[in-house]
């Protein structure tokens, strides 16, 4: 199992040139998203959503807001990945569905409702930063899963954050409760494309710190 994950992790590269003649079948996209849906999240609140852009017109609307990157229109699918800063709030449909599911499975009891409300409030609303970090971190988990799932299905991806956040939010009528952590181009590699060697990465000893 570790050799295969190593292969997936090495095979996953950020691709700049996609095959414009090869679409991503809908069932492959659904399989990719369903695989990533297993991602863990804070209290299972899953504060992520996706907008799926497939139409040329939609991608052309996005491209000038994303540094005019050709892959925005060349990739058959571009996902606008959304992080829901309000996913921890009482009354949010996912929050409430999660609560119902916990009661149903017996992992929570009705009289723990106040505990649950206090827990999410105290963790994700103690500062202005906390609800943004909650959304961005969990959606980061989800986006990474999307990339591995894509690789495992033979797809290529490119996570992009070179875009005008406010302009994309406005142009695509994205409600204020969302932060946009990234756009994700999804498709197949342009035939004949040769990749540069993988970029350097920090080693274990550069990652681990102590104070």
C-alpha triplet 172, 91, 99: angle, nearest 5°: 115
Element (H, E) at 77: strand 77-84
- Coil, helix or strand at residue 52: strand
Interacting residue with its own copies among 22, 25, 30, 118 (CB under 8 A):
30
Residue 116, both tokens: 């649950």
141 binds its own copies (CB under 8 A): yes
Binding piece for its own copies, criterion CB under 8 A, among 17-25, 68-76, 108-116, 138-146:
138-146
User: E-strand spans in 98-192?
Assistant: 156-160, 178-187
207 binds its own copies (CB under 8 A): yes
Check residue 184 for interaction with its own copies (CB under 8 A): no
Shortest reach from residue 100's CB to its own copies, in Å: 9
Q: Minimum CB separation from its own copies for residue 21, in Å?
A: 23
Write out the two tokens for 204.
Answer: 């274990």
**Which of the ranges 16-24, 37-45, 108-116, 186-194 carries the binding residues for its own copies, by CB under 8 A?**
37-45
d(CA 36, CA 145) in angstroms, rounded, equals 5
Sole binder of its own copies in the list 112, 123, 177, 190 (CB under 8 A): 123
Contact status: 144 vs its own copies (CB under 8 A):
yes
Within 85-168, strands assigned E span 156-160
Encoded one letter per residue, x for contact with its own copies by CB under 8 A and - for no contact, window 148-167 reads xx-xxxx----x-xx--x--
């Amino acid at each position: 199992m570790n050799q295969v994950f190593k292969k997936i992790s090495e095979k996953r590269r950020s691709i700049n040139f996609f095959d414009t003649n090869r679409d991503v079948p809908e069932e492959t996209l659904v399989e990719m998203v369903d695989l990533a849906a297993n991602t863990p999240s804070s209290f299972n609140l899953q504060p992520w959503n996706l907008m799926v852009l497939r139409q040329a017109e939609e991608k052309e609307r996005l491209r000038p807001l994303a540094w005019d990157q050709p892959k925005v229109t060349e990739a058959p699918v571009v996902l606008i990945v959304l992080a829901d800063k309000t996913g921890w709030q009482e009354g949010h449909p996912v929050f409430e569905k999660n609560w119902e599911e916990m009661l149903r499975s017996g992992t929570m009891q009705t009289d723990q409702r106040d505990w649950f409300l206090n827990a999410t409030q105290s963790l994700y609303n103690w500062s202005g930063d906390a609800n943004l970090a909650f959304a961005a971190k969990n959606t980061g988990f989800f986006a990474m899963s999307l990339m591995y799932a894509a690789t495992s299905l033979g797809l290529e991806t490119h996570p992009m954050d070179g875009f005008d956040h406010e302009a994309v939010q406005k142009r695509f009528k994205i409600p204020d409760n969302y932060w946009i952590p990234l756009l994700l181009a999804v498709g197949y590699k342009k035939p004949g494309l040769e990749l540069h060697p993988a970029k350097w990465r920090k080693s274990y000893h550069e990652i681990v710190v102590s104070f």
